[in-house]
Chain A
Amino acid sequence: MSAQNEAGRQETVAPTASATAPSVPAIELRGISKAFGPVQANKDIAISVAKGSIHGIIGENGAGKSTLMSILYGFYKADSGQILINGKEVQIADSQAAIAAGIGMVFQHFKLVENFTVLENVILGAEDGGLLKPSLAKARKLLKQLSDEYELSVDPDALIEELSVGHQQRVEILKALYRQADILILDEPTGVLTPAEADHLFRILEGLKEQGKTIIMITHKLREIMEITDTVSVMRRGEMTATVKTSETSPEELAELMVGRKVLLHVDKKPATPGAPVVQIENLRVIDEQKVERLKGVSFEVRAGEIVGIAGVAGNGQTELLEVLGGYQNGTGKVVMNSQEIDLSGKHSNGQTRRARGIAHVPEDRHDEGLILEFQAWENMVFGYHHAPEYQKNALLMDNAGIKAMTQSSMDKFDVRPPNPKLEAKSFSGGNQQKIVLAREIERNPDLLLVGQPTRGVDIGAIEFIHQQIVALRDQGKAILLVSVELDEILSLSDRIIVMFDGQIMGERIPAETNEGELGLMMAGITDTKHETAGADQ
């Protein structure tokens, strides 16, 4: 936990990385502890971040990263410990105090008012005086200045809901800068961004760093840590297990520090041996309730024994594709499953008939569609299949004891922790919830498995397991359609990759013959991948 000495003072124009003069760290935590009841969320945390550097904090879900950040931003009060900003101890009782101490926070879920303009969002809470006019004029001027200085251009008069997520994030950064934050904390900043947008964000962060701002980035993506940070701290089970210079570590080492054991970062799988087509999709279209065409004539097939990965930025039709195949969205076109056509609308088009045809579905949103959080694990384990004869005791009653026993064995097989069928679904961690859904769908031995965002909000250790299960199903000769916004996941899991943009298929690639850059451009709707320069802003 040595203090970093590489930053210069803030007044100097550009701190050089080689400067060796010792300086006070921009932010230093000493012995921060916080418990929620019996759970020790943060245990004796200490970090010291040098001025003008980018510090990464990495850790699994529940490792205590968010708690730590909440303490820094005044949402929680630490049970013990000190926070020092520029060498001076500060008390951060609320967000106001954090802002006053020069801390700016960019949350994972943006804290923006959707139907306010950019300017209104920027000044909210930092107005000068009771009238809006002077504040708005001042903010407009400052925003212009900031957008010239860094690559932070946004239309000040646009409504937030009209902006892309990348631009919304810029507004969050602008908000912090408008409040004259010197320390910028970003929580999972790239979770919702396209690769091009993420690169743009990193350029912004580099620019801010050059101006002497200190940046703390929380993420679970090892690649980003390696790419942008100067130093990195690893958290595990509420403790800071290590702080290292990024240049002196490797993704493998970081993963091991996070999980506490060796982790395979790449999916270990044999080459696919695709068989006959299981599902053939022709000219599939979906028009939603707002009369917007979400799927604009999509055609492809998934064969037995292969994983087809759909890459794309969220909201480009992948969700609708899963929904229409899963049977809870109407569509038009032709879908042939095991050489029999499927009804895409009408009373024979629903989840029940789809399951009867051998289509299982792990939905994108396990909280809303995959599980009923208030119900117990054993109840969740049969949803959708609760009509199956083996779950009935007689004509009236279900065989609850049998279902519980089945759940118990599935939980053991899928390593669900804790393996307690009577626990409510909401009491499991994200990874274990996902394993419950996966167990339910895979155990019914489907011909086609639809999987949406299988590892969203799931720990590295559980990701490994879930990926292995999906590959195992493929090796049994099943067809798998995978939708994910995580390019890493698509690249490592798929046998074929289809890129979607604006409800259409932009192209198909073989994982070994493509890379993130090319896919990223296709995801942004740029077909001519020879022009590598475009795509940062559209």
Chain B
Amino acid sequence: MDYLTIIQILDSSVRLATPLLLTCLAGLFSERAGVVDIGLEGKLLIAAFLSGAAAAVTGSIWIGLLAGVAGSLAFSMIHGLASITFKGDQLISGVALNFLAAGLTVVVGQSWFQLGGRTPSLSGDGRFAPWNLPFSDAMAKIPVIGPAYDELISGHTALTYLALLAVPLSWWVLYRSRFGLRLRAVGENPSAVDTAGISVVRLRYAALVIAGVLCGLAGTYLASLAAGFVKDMSAGRGYIALAALIFAKWRPWYALWATLLFGLLEAIGNRYQSIALGDIVIPVQFMQALPYILTVIILAGFVGKAIPPRASGQSYVKER
């Protein structure tokens, strides 16, 4: 394996990790506020569909982005209505949204575009253009650092940079701002927040708004990356993001590393369709299943003790 290959795999990891990272951060805000968000998958899917459709119709991915975020946000608010306002079960509400998204996208897509549930292919302004950072062409000629800069650091789309920027930003918001303090508190002990005279409901909705926007970005990114919406294109990324969130112990920087790890596994699986270890050939299916296998391992608790926010999953009912 030569240096360039490594750089290419890493570059691909970053590309594949971007939607996971955005989704993971979405889950982080939501769960830190005490709302379990199994509906990340559904939000991702609805955002991918709406952005793909809007971008196909208008020819602009930026309009697609708006549509995707709006769709994801709407789903987030339904989740909020069911689980915060009406104190329903958060898991059930989330799962219902996942089913809704899986069905709705295909049905609406088919009746709209008659392409078997797909949206028309996106091209040109219908996709995010890579950003070439300054001097990347010139730097490319420098050995070692050059390709790393040109391939790995430069040349991603705006959303990738935004996702990476969202990590320190999330950390700062959570640990350095009043909003973050209250958000974390509401996920740990909502009655403490309530008795301090702050609205639990408003805080949790605020968290879901952030989650909705982040999922919207992630879904749009998927549609842009694949040049259009395809049935079930989120392919479990919402769940993987949840696994990464547990792996990351609900912390922003850990979320970055966790999603990069998943991205790396996916990149390796994509690049090496089969690996021969002596006489044994590892089949392609195994390679592609790697991220999912890791998910199972993580969820089975092989990563040490991960303590979720204490009030996560519980709707808040005022006590006497």
- Chain A positions within 8 Å of B, measured between CB atoms, are 66-67, 70, 73, 75-76, 94-99, 105, 107, 111-116, 120-121, 123-127, 129-133, 135, 175
Which of B177, B188, B320 has a CB less than 8 Å from the CB of A116?
A: B188
Assembly CA distance A531 to B152 (angstroms): 71
Nearest-neighbour CB distance to chain A for B197, whole angstroms, equals 3
30 A-B contacts (beta carbon < 8 Å): A95-B194, A96-B198, A97-B197, A98-B197, A99-B196, A99-B197, A107-B195, A111-B191, A111-B192, A113-B188, A116-B181, A116-B184, A116-B185, A116-B188, A124-B181, A124-B185, A124-B192, A125-B182, A125-B193, A125-B197, A125-B198, A126-B196, A130-B179, A131-B176, A131-B177, A132-B177, A132-B178, A132-B180, A135-B178, A175-B196
Nearest 9 A-B pairs (CB), nearest first?
Answer: A125-B196, A96-B197, A111-B192, A95-B197, A127-B178, A111-B195, A113-B188, A113-B185, A113-B189
Assembly CA distance A196 to B243 (angstroms): 47
Assembly CA distance A151 to B175 (angstroms): 31
Interface centre among A94, A111, A125 (most CB of B within 10 A): A125
Q: Which residues of A contact B180 (CB under 8 A)?
A: 132
Which of A95, A97, A114, A130 has a CB less than 8 Å from the CB of B195?
A: A95
Q: Which residues of B contact A107 (CB under 8 A)?
A: 195
- Please, which residue of chain B has its CB at the minimum distance from the CB of A70? B320
Interface centre among A73, A111, A123, A130 (most CB of B within 10 A): A111
Beyond A120-B181, A131-B177, is A113–B320 a contact (Cβ under 8 Å)? no
Q: Which residues of B contact A132 (CB under 8 A)?
A: 175-178, 180-181
Which of B177, B181, B196, B318 has a CB less than 8 Å from the CB of A75?
A: B318
Nearest-neighbour CB distance to chain A for B315, whole angstroms, equals 17
Q: By the criterion CB–CB under 8 Å, are A115 and B188 in contact?
A: yes
Q: By the criterion CB–CB under 8 Å, are B176 and A114 in contact?
A: no
Q: Which residues of A contact B177 (CB under 8 A)?
A: 130-132
Cβ-based interface call for B271 (8 A): no
Q: By the criterion CB–CB under 8 Å, are A121 and B320 in contact?
A: no
Q: Which residues of A contact B191 (CB under 8 A)?
A: 111
Q: By the criterion CB–CB under 8 Å, are B189 and A75 in contact?
A: no
Interface residues of B in 190-228 (CB under 8 A from A): 191-198
Cβ-based interface call for B310 (8 A): yes
Q: By the criterion CB–CB under 8 Å, are B195 and A105 in contact?
A: yes
Nearest-neighbour CB distance to chain A for B141, whole angstroms, equals 45
Q: By the criterion CB–CB under 8 Å, are B318 and A113 in contact?
A: no
Q: Which residues of B contact A126 (CB under 8 A)?
A: 196
Which of A66, A76, A114 has a CB less than 8 Å from the CB of B189?
A: A114
Known: A131-B178, A132-B177, A132-B180. 12 other contacts (CB 8 A): A67-B320, A73-B195, A75-B318, A94-B197, A95-B196, A111-B195, A113-B192, A115-B188, A115-B310, A116-B181, A124-B181, A132-B181
Which of B175, B176, B189, B318 has a CB less than 8 Å from the CB of A112?
A: B189
Beyond A75-B318, A114-B310, A132-B177, is A124–B188 a contact (Cβ under 8 Å)? no
Q: Which residues of B contact A123 (CB under 8 A)?
A: 181
Assembly CA distance A391 to B268 (angstroms): 65
Assembly CA distance A364 to B96 (angstroms): 40
Nearest-neighbour CB distance to chain A for B196, whole angstroms, equals 3
Which of A70, A105, A120, A124 has a CB less than 8 Å from the CB of B193?
A: A124
Interface centre among A95, A129, A175 (most CB of B within 10 A): A95
Assembly CA distance A96 to B196 (angstroms): 7
Assembly CA distance A126 to B182 (angstroms): 10
- Please, which residue of chain B has its CB at the minimum distance from the CB of A110? B192
Assembly CA distance A131 to B320 (angstroms): 32
Nearest-neighbour CB distance to chain A for B281, whole angstroms, equals 44
Nearest-neighbour CB distance to chain A for B181, whole angstroms, equals 6
Nearest-neighbour CB distance to chain B for A374, whole angstroms, equals 17
Q: By the criterion CB–CB under 8 Å, are A114 and B188 in contact?
A: yes
Q: Which residues of A contact B310 (CB under 8 A)?
A: 114-115
Nearest-neighbour CB distance to chain B for A105, whole angstroms, equals 7
Which of B181, B189, B318 has a CB less than 8 Å from the CB of A111?
A: B189
Interface residues of B in 294-320 (CB under 8 A from A): 310, 318, 320
Q: By the criterion CB–CB under 8 Å, are B320 and A133 in contact?
A: no
Q: Which residues of B contact A115 (CB under 8 A)?
A: 188, 310
Assembly CA distance A120 to B318 (angstroms): 23
Q: Which residues of A contact B193 (CB under 8 A)?
A: 124-125
Assembly CA distance A502 to B102 (angstroms): 56
- Please, which residue of chain A has its CB at the minimum distance from the CB of B175? A132
Q: By the criterion CB–CB under 8 Å, are B178 and A112 in contact?
A: no
Assembly CA distance A344 to B177 (angstroms): 52
Interface centre among A73, A124, A127 (most CB of B within 10 A): A124
Nearest-neighbour CB distance to chain B for A60, whole angstroms, equals 16
Q: Which residues of A contact B184 (CB under 8 A)?
A: 113, 116
- Please, which residue of chain B has its CB at the minimum distance from the CB of A41? B320
Assembly CA distance A113 to B310 (angstroms): 9
Nearest-neighbour CB distance to chain A for B125, whole angstroms, equals 37
Nearest-neighbour CB distance to chain B for A117, whole angstroms, equals 11
Beyond A111-B189, A114-B310, is A130–B178 a contact (Cβ under 8 Å)? yes
Nearest-neighbour CB distance to chain B for A31, whole angstroms, equals 21
- Please, which residue of chain B has its CB at the minimum distance from the CB of A112? B192
Interface centre among B175, B185, B193, B197 (most CB of A within 10 A): B197
Q: Which residues of A contact B178 (CB under 8 A)?
A: 127, 129-132, 135
Interface residues of B in 146-183 (CB under 8 A from A): 175-182
Which of B176, B182, B318 has a CB less than 8 Å from the CB of A124?
A: B182
- Please, which residue of chain B has its CB at the minimum distance from the CB of A135? B178
- Please, which residue of chain A has its CB at the minimum distance from the CB of B178? A127
Nearest-neighbour CB distance to chain B for A526, whole angstroms, equals 33
Assembly CA distance A75 to B180 (angstroms): 25
Assembly CA distance A96 to B188 (angstroms): 20
Assembly CA distance A125 to B195 (angstroms): 9
Nearest-neighbour CB distance to chain B for A280, whole angstroms, equals 39
- Please, which residue of chain B has its CB at the minimum distance from the CB of A100? B197
Nearest-neighbour CB distance to chain A for B34, whole angstroms, equals 12
Beyond A111-B189, A112-B189, A116-B185, is A124–B179 a contact (Cβ under 8 Å)? no
- Please, which residue of chain A has its CB at the minimum distance from the CB of B176? A132
Assembly CA distance A345 to B67 (angstroms): 62
Q: Which residues of B contact A99 (CB under 8 A)?
A: 196-197
- Please, which residue of chain A has its CB at the minimum distance from the CB of B188? A113
Nearest-neighbour CB distance to chain A for B145, whole angstroms, equals 38
Assembly CA distance A97 to B188 (angstroms): 24
Assembly CA distance A233 to B185 (angstroms): 36
Assembly CA distance A130 to B178 (angstroms): 5
- Please, which residue of chain B has its CB at the minimum distance from the CB of A129? B178
Q: Which residues of A contact B197 (CB under 8 A)?
A: 94-99, 125
Interface residues of B in 83-109 (CB under 8 A from A): none
Which of A73, A76, A105, A127 has a CB less than 8 Å from the CB of B181?
A: A127
- Please, which residue of chain A has its CB at the minimum distance from the CB of B180? A132
Q: Which residues of A contact B198 (CB under 8 A)?
A: 96, 124-125
- Please, which residue of chain A has its CB at the minimum distance from the CB of B191? A111
Nearest-neighbour CB distance to chain B for A305, whole angstroms, equals 43
Assembly CA distance A94 to B194 (angstroms): 9
Q: Which residues of B contact A121 (CB under 8 A)?
A: 192
Interface centre among A66, A75, A105, A133 (most CB of B within 10 A): A75
Assembly CA distance A335 to B38 (angstroms): 49
Assembly CA distance A94 to B200 (angstroms): 12
Nearest-neighbour CB distance to chain A for B180, whole angstroms, equals 8
Assembly CA distance A127 to B197 (angstroms): 12
Q: Which residues of A contact B320 (CB under 8 A)?
A: 66-67, 70, 75-76
